[in-house]
Structure 1
Amino acid sequence: MSWQTFIVDFFTYGILLYSVALLSSYVFIALYSVGITRDHLRKNTFTDYRILASSDQLPGLSILAPAYNEGNTIIENVRSLLSIHYNNVELVVINDGSKDDCLQKLIEGYNLYKTDHFVNEQLSTKKVRGVYRSHNPVYNKLIVVDKENGGKADALNVGINIASKDYIVCIDVDCILEQDALLKMALPFMEHPGKRVIASGGVVRIVNDCVVKNGKILKINLPESFIPRMQTLEYIRAFLLGRMAWSRMNGLLLISGAFGAFDKEIVIKCGGYNHKTVGEDMELVVRMRRYMEERKEPYKVTYIPDPLCWTEAPNSFQILGRQRNRWTRGTIETLWFHRKMFFNPKYGFLGLVSYPYWFFFEFLAPIIEFVGFIALFFFAIFGLIDWVVFLSLFAFILSFGLLYSMFAIFIEVITYNQYNRTRDIFKLILTAIAEPFIFHPFVVWSAIKGNIDLVQKKNSWGEMTRQGFAKPKTS
């Protein structure tokens, strides 16, 4: 056997075996998610959230909303959060050293005054410059904190120090929550006797091109622009299939930073959010799970399939690339911080299944795929490819990807059916067909750049410019 043949066979069979393992895991995850989604929908039919909304028995929730240079939209965003149906709640808005008029607009818009509010500094943070409350009793649930700039993780830690409730809900201030989002998010913390629910997440959807007024969605539309529509399909797959399956196995490692609820006591015992990573949301969940595993305490991390939170997705490849670059760096940093768990039976399912899956199929997948592209290029130049076999495998991979996306769209239609017009479903199918040729290669390249930036110790967050929400048309 020549060295050329050996190299070709090594890459061919190695990538083939890896692909079979990856695709098999996708099939299992897709099928395994159906049961828990079905059970959740059935249980929801017997739950009257109108009664729950006024109940004094619900756990106390502190909404933590970091804000940095959000002056253009902060009044409307806070109004939206204050309108959420929940009785035992407080809203803590943390102005993270904004350079615009964000704080001034909050002071004027909500008639705020500076108080002598005691800050229990259980977590070390940047300096708090002031805590504000409203003269208007209508806004008695609102607390505004002004602090020196320290980044999102530091701002959330300040919010944790301020929060007076037992559970914290961490969100992006520009997200839009469904009116019953907190009610549904609170239920898991009451439903699992014998197991402490330390964190819970909910489905995040794309708000681009939806009609929004006064912080509420009046009409749900599928994004017209190509890039947000690609992300809409991606989010449907990730949340309805992937995270629901991992929740059912109690192996979930990630709750979206856009919307997640946490047991405040465990968060504080774990040291709060880590400001040394750009993936602070994932890192906190892994650290909380590791904390519970090391103490042999029964616990659970849950996920809710209901669309609870709507966020604006990047509308350009430049902004999308920064986001995916950051996600990659955050994933690698989290895996590195907690490398002790890798195939460590001491951590049970977390160490033997969840961590290895993220290592092999989330961290390594774009690297292996990129190396495969490079190898294909050189093999083609030297005439070392069996094109019949290659094209057959390529067609199979494309077909599998399309069928997987179609299955996700089908599950969306028979469950929540947010995009209920026939033309929207048709657009999602066309998006699934185009994705492997445009969106996916770009995401892979962004992940490679994330790896490179991490090696070069580039730790920037990356500016996320937003266009704002669509308004109702007037005649």
Structure 2
Amino acid sequence: MGSGVFDIILEYINIVFLMFTVVLFSMFSFMGYLSTRNSIHYKNKNSFGDLSKIMASPLAPGITIIAPAYNEGMNIVENIRSLLSLKYVNYEVMVVNDGSKDDTLEKMILAYDLVKIERKIDPDWKSKPIRGIYKSTQASFSKLTVIDKENGGKSDALNTGIQLSENKYVGCIDVDCLLLPDALLHVVKSFYQRSKKRVVAVGGVIRVANSCIIGGGTLEEIRLPKNWLAKFQLLEYTRSFILGRMAWGRIDSLLIISGAFGFFDREIALAVGGYDTNTVGEDMEIVFKMRRYMHERKLPYTVEYIPDPLCWTEVPESLKILVNQRDRWSRGNLETLHKHKDMFFNPKYGRLGMLSYPYWFFYEWMAPLLEFFGFFSILLFYYLGILNWEFFVAITFTVYSFSIMFSFYAILWDVYSYNEYNKTKDILTLMLCAIIEPIVFHPIIVWAAVRGNYKKLFKVKSGWGTITRKGFAKA
């Protein structure tokens, strides 16, 4: 009797894992289809018409780029130079020095001839105290504003910028990111291309800049990263941004905009209280809040997504820094899902409640935990001599093959769409990464996610963390 019950339990476990895998394959296949349709639609829609003359007009809407800076002395001057060279007239670059302990502020003052100015500040706006506001004495740097404040974290720095901005739109980026010169043209076009829906946010693809050649604040040569961890992240980013987020954008169900490149309708951002300073997943949380705000008021809105390679950033090349980063991402994910748990399978929120949130819950949050504990279950079943080898080998080979095929498709579709890496050697290298990623890189990501969830669930004190940059390769 006991043996029969045990067999039933094992069979039940097999069925659960099989169903989970089948649904996962179906979802990813459908995402591949949706992203392809959306990419083709985007390219066809943007293959005609030249908006550069219109968007370069002084009548174009104002936009403020907010870039928090904490101990960015190594690259701050070069990064600001890049932001000041964008092809747009009516924009402001607002760098928020969030209590840096290095020479970040001093380098900015020296390089751009900054002097402290007087500016009215709302005393009721909650943020860490502002120590000074700086503008340049040179007309060529008139678009630059530097806010020096006490350290309060990235969210607090972004909120300070949103409050002090006077433009209709705000762009929240990482100061170490490199924007291509026509980035703002694409962003503003995305805000204005809808006639029946209000565009509350615009996100875009993040590209990996490691080993690329940067000169004068511009991207001069695109190169495949030399570091293998960076190569794996390049593959991961390609798959996530080109296929995953593109697919969610197709059905207007995108729940996250990368903190490295996110633009918002300032009025709505202020209405929801800006970024949450009590979470480490601020980029995901603000999109949840803005979507809920519009949805609950039954206001027609949308979130746009730009697949063009407009933003390039440096990814971690150290295993320790990578694990800390993904640990933080998983904690932010769990915090946001818990805060908005009433959306889970709630038809009131339409596709967001019935599709996007459940997907994020099961396959972004729960999947790493299932993988982790599933591995130890396999070892236990093997030790007890009850492992169903035929089923185990079949499902492992199927999952492994599908993951490689999905990565191959992402690589080839990226080559077809944008051809950033056009050398045969580079493409073959990425394909090699796709083959070994499930064995070498993916377990690291799973472990980081498990560690982050453990910290959050058991209230282990852990903050935003620090990321040490090597800096872009110079020409």
Report what 2:442 is aligned to. 440
Which one-letter code corresponds to 2:49 in the other structure?
Answer: T
Show CA shifts across 1:289-314 (max 9, x none). 01111100010011011011000011
C-alpha distance in structure 2 between counterparts of 1:389 and 1:359, whole Å: 26
Query: Once structures 1 and 2 are overlaid, which stretch shifts more, 114-123 or 263-272?
Result: 114-123
Q: Secondary structure at the match of 2:358?
A: helix
For 1:253-292, list aligned pairs within 5 A: 253-292=255-294
Which one-letter code corresponds to 2:289 in the other structure?
Answer: R
2:135 to 119, 133, 155: 133
Q: Return the offset for 1:58.
A: 2.5
Task: Judge conservation of contact 1:278–1:329 (CA < 8 Å) in 2.
Answer: yes
Query: Once structures 1 and 2 are overlaid, which stretch shifts more, 343-352 or 312-321?
Result: 343-352
Which one-letter code corresponds to 1:112 in the other structure?
Answer: L
Which one-letter code corresponds to 1:13 in the other structure?
Answer: I
Mark the runs of 5 or more structure 2 residues left unpaired by the alignment. none
Matched, 1:420 2:422: yes
Query: Once structures 1 and 2 are overlaid, which stretch shifts more, 180-189 or 452-461?
Result: 452-461
Matched, 1:408 2:388: no
For 1:90-101, list aligned pairs within 5 A: 90-101=92-103
Percent of residue pairs identical = 49
Q: Return the offset for 1:389.
A: 2.4
Report what 2:16 is aligned to. 14
Show CA shifts across 1:133-176 (max 9, x none). 11111111111000010000000000011111000000000100
TM, length-normalised to structure 2: 0.97
Q: Secondary structure at the match of 1:426?
A: helix
Which one-letter code corresponds to 1:129 in the other structure?
Answer: R
Q: Which runs of 4+ in 1 moved over 4 A?
A: none
Report what 1:349 is aligned to. 351
2:467 to 453, 464, 467: 464
Task: Judge conservation of contact 1:278–1:459 (CA < 8 Å) in 2.
Answer: no
1:359 to 358, 361, 368: 361
1:201 to 161, 180, 203: 203
Report what 1:449 is aligned to. 451
Show CA shifts across 1:361-397 (max 9, x none). 1111101111211110100111111212211221111
Which one-letter code corresponds to 2:85 in the other structure?
Answer: S
Q: Secondary structure at the match of 2:307?
A: strand
Q: Secondary structure at the match of 2:367?
A: helix
Q: Return the offset for 1:6.
A: 2.8
C-alpha distance in structure 2 between counterparts of 1:338 and 1:356, whole Å: 12
Q: Return the offset for 1:347.
A: 1.3
Q: Return the offset for 1:317.
A: 1.3
Show CA shifts across 1:252-289 (max 9, x none). 00000001100000000000000100000000000100
Task: Judge conservation of contact 1:49–1:180 (CA < 8 Å) in 2.
Answer: no
C-alpha distance in structure 2 between counterparts of 1:235 and 1:123, whole Å: 36
For 1:160-175, list aligned pairs within 5 A: 160-175=162-177
C-alpha distance in structure 1 between counterparts of 2:234 and 2:330, whole Å: 19
Q: Return the offset for 1:66.
A: 0.3
Which one-letter code corresponds to 1:165 in the other structure?
Answer: N
TM, length-normalised to structure 1: 0.97
Query: Once structures 1 and 2 are overlaid, which stretch shifts more, 153-162 or 4-13?
Result: 4-13
Q: Return the offset for 1:123.
A: 3.6
C-alpha distance in structure 2 between counterparts of 1:123 and 1:270, whole Å: 13
For 1:54-65, list aligned pairs within 5 A: 54-65=56-67
Report what 1:29 is aligned to. 31
C-alpha distance in structure 2 between counterparts of 1:297 and 1:57, whole Å: 27
For 1:14-413, list aligned pairs within 5 A: 14-120=16-122, 123-413=125-415
C-alpha distance in structure 2 between counterparts of 1:47 and 1:464, whole Å: 41
C-alpha distance in structure 1 between counterparts of 2:391 and 2:95, whole Å: 57
C-alpha distance 157-138 of structure 1, shift in aligned 2 (>3 A): same
Which one-letter code corresponds to 2:236 in the other structure?
Answer: E
C-alpha distance in structure 2 between counterparts of 1:240 and 1:121, whole Å: 43
Q: Return the offset for 1:456.
A: 3.1
Q: Return the offset for 1:445.
A: 0.7
Q: Please report the RMSD computed on the Cα atoms of aligned residues, expressed in angstroms.
A: 1.2
Q: Return the offset for 1:3.
A: 3.6
Task: Judge conservation of contact 1:122–1:268 (CA < 8 Å) in 2.
Answer: no
Which one-letter code corresponds to 2:464 in the other structure?
Answer: W
Mark the runs of 5 or more structure 1 residues left unpaired by the alignment. none
Q: Return the offset for 1:105.
A: 1.2
C-alpha distance in structure 1 between counterparts of 2:181 and 2:151, whole Å: 31
Task: Judge conservation of contact 2:74–2:471 (CA < 8 Å) in 1.
Answer: no
Q: Return the offset for 1:40.
A: 1.2
Count of matched residue pairs = 472
Q: Secondary structure at the match of 2:207?
A: strand
Q: Return the offset for 1:72.
A: 1.8
Show CA shifts across 1:309-350 (max 9, x none). 000011021111011101100010001111111111111111
